[in-house]
Amino acid sequence: MRLEPRAETSLALNLLAPVSALVVSLIICGLLVAIAGAAILPTFGLVVKGAFGSQFALLETLTRSTPLIFTGLAAAVAFRAKLWNIGAEAQLYMGAIVCVVLGTGLVPLPSVVLIPLILIAGALAGALTLLGPALLKTRFGVDEVVTTLLLNFIILLFVSLLLEGPLKDPMGMGWPQSSRVIADATLPKLIHGKRLHLGFVLAVLSAVTVWFINARTTFGYEMRAVGHNARAAAFAGIPVNAVMVKTALLSGGLAGLAGVSEVAGLKGNLTLDLSPGFGYTGIVVAMLALLNPLAVIATAIFVAAIFVGADAMSRSAGVPSYIANVMVAVSLLSMVVAVMFTRFKVSWK
């Protein structure tokens, strides 16, 4: 068996790839549902109903997709330049820390000033968190995969340290949690009395901005060139290391915004379970979107729907909600395989 690159990929094939990946994921998860002793189709029905079945469910799905759009964009931007940022989790928490430091009354400003301030500061914190690994990569050739992964554990311990020390909520009854952000630092809700907040709009705007940078600016072109072939890019006069560092700042900044948006928009304070792996799930979101920033919006909603739907299903059908994580992992792997077959054809000889 050998693989030969296709000269061109037909539109039908491009559409077939995500569909077949979805079918494979559904078959595998269907099997697991059957093993768990539940009826397959009604269980899937409960997942869909839990994710989209009511206004409440739909808004909950969009709320859950908000941090995933940010972390999905963070991965999409970095992976496009072949910068393997697996540390969005750490960058998210750094953004959240800065949000709590500035947003709990330290700087009493009106919300029109304070909200942009915490957004910018949070993005900056995320960007600086990735700057370290990026500089280690460009200066010393240290593989960023391991450094960003290890930073996730270091930053989570740092959060724990802050929550039991300087940022501990004096009214928190001893729980490791921070004080709540003040009203002027809270992102407004999109619909009165519901949980969906301004963060979702900001996430969508970020996706459009990243798309614009990718498609319409020199920097976007340079990122793609470096990702495609760093040596060729260097020969063409592109400052590869500088592009890497700028990419890292953009990617880390987006992940930092996820942290700000979760704290200031939804949770109100910082806890150790602010992110149930949004940083890692963002990688799946980005790959499902084939690193296209606009498609990230759709795939983030899809992944959020799986989690929200599976949570609801798990309460009534008794299938462990970890089925959502399995579904997400299987769809990542089947998607990369499906995409490979759109670019190569198999010849048996």
Partner 1 sequence: MDAFEIIFTTTLWVAAIRIASPLIFATLGELICERAGILNLGIEGIMVAGSFAGWVTVYAGGDLWLGVLVAALVGAIFGLLHGVLVVPLGLSQHVTGIGITLLASSLTYFVYRLLFPSLTSPPRITPFQPLPLPGLSQIPFLGEALFSQTALTYLAFIAVGVVAYILYRTPIGLAVRTVGENPAAVEAQGIDVTWIRIGAVMCGSALMAIGGAFLTMSAVDAFYINMVNGRGWICIALVVFGSWRPGKALLGAVLFAAFDAYQIRLQQKYGTAIPYQVFLMLPYILSILALVVMSRRAGYPRALMVPYRKGER
Examine residue 307 and tell whether it contacts partner 1 (CB under 8 A): no
* Packing angle of the helix pair 88-103, 278-288 (nearest 10 deg): 120
Using the rule CB under 8 A, is 232 a contact of partner 1? no
Which of 42, 116, 188, 318 is in the footprint of partner 1 by CB under 8 A? 318
Among the residues of the chain, which ranges form H helices? 11-35, 40-52, 55-80, 88-103, 111-140, 144-164, 198-216, 218-228, 230-235, 240-261, 278-288, 293-317, 323-343
* Interacting residue with partner 1 among 13, 150, 182, 290 (CB under 8 A): 150
| Footprint of partner 1 on 102-141 (CB under 8 A) | 136, 140-141
Helix (H, G, I), strand (E, B) or coil at 277: coil
Closest separation in Å from C-beta 186 to partner 1: 29
DSSP bridge pairs for 2? 347
d(CA 151, CA 178): 22
- When the beta carbons of 200 and 280 are compared against partner 1, the nearer one is 280
Q: How far is the CB of 29 from partner 1 (least distance, A)?
A: 10
Closest by Cα among 292, 248, 279, 269 to 134: 248
Q: Which is nearer to partner 1, 187 or 303 (CB)?
A: 303
Q: Find the binder of partner 1 among 160, 217, 229, 316 (CB under 8 A).
A: 160
x-marked contacts with partner 1 along 233-252 as a string, rule CB under 8 A:
--------------------
321-340 positions binding partner 1, by CB under 8 A: 322-323, 325-326, 328-330, 332-333, 336-337, 340
Does 165 bind partner 1 (CB under 8 A)? Our answer is yes
In this structure, what are the phi and psi dihedrals at residue 49, rounded to the nearest 5 degrees? -65, -40
The nearest distance, CB 292 to partner 1, in angstroms, is 15
Q: Which of 47, 68, 86, 100 binds partner 1 (CB under 8 A)?
A: 86
DSSP string, 47-113: HHHHHHSSHHHHHHHHHHHHHHHHHHHHHHHHHHTT-----HHHHHHHHHHHHHHHHTTTS---HHH
Q: What is the dihedral of CA 147, 165, 177, 98, to 10 degrees?
A: -60
Nearer to partner 1, 86 or 260 (CB): 86
23, 31, 55, 143: which one binds partner 1 (CB under 8 A): 143
Minimum CB–partner distance for residue 322 and partner 1 (Å): 4
Shorter beta-carbon distance to partner 1: residue 149 or 255: 149
Ranges within 17-76 binding partner 1 (CB under 8 A): 32, 35-36
Within positions 271 to 290, which residues make up the interface with partner 1, using CB under 8 A? 280, 283-284, 287
> What dihedral do alpha carbons 237, 241, 243, 245 form, nearest 10°?
-170
Q: Please, what is the Cα angle at 211 between 209 and 215, to 5 degrees?
A: 120
Question: 42 vs 320, which CB is nearer to partner 1?
Answer: 320
Contact 209, 220 (CB under 8 A): no
Q: Is 233 exposed, middle or buried (0-12, 13-18, 19+ CB in 10 A)?
A: buried
**For binding to partner 1 (CB under 8 A), which residues are involved?**
1-3, 32, 35-36, 79, 84, 86, 136, 140-143, 145-147, 149-154, 157-158, 160-161, 164-165, 280, 283-284, 287, 318, 320, 322-323, 325-326, 328-330, 332-333, 336-337, 340
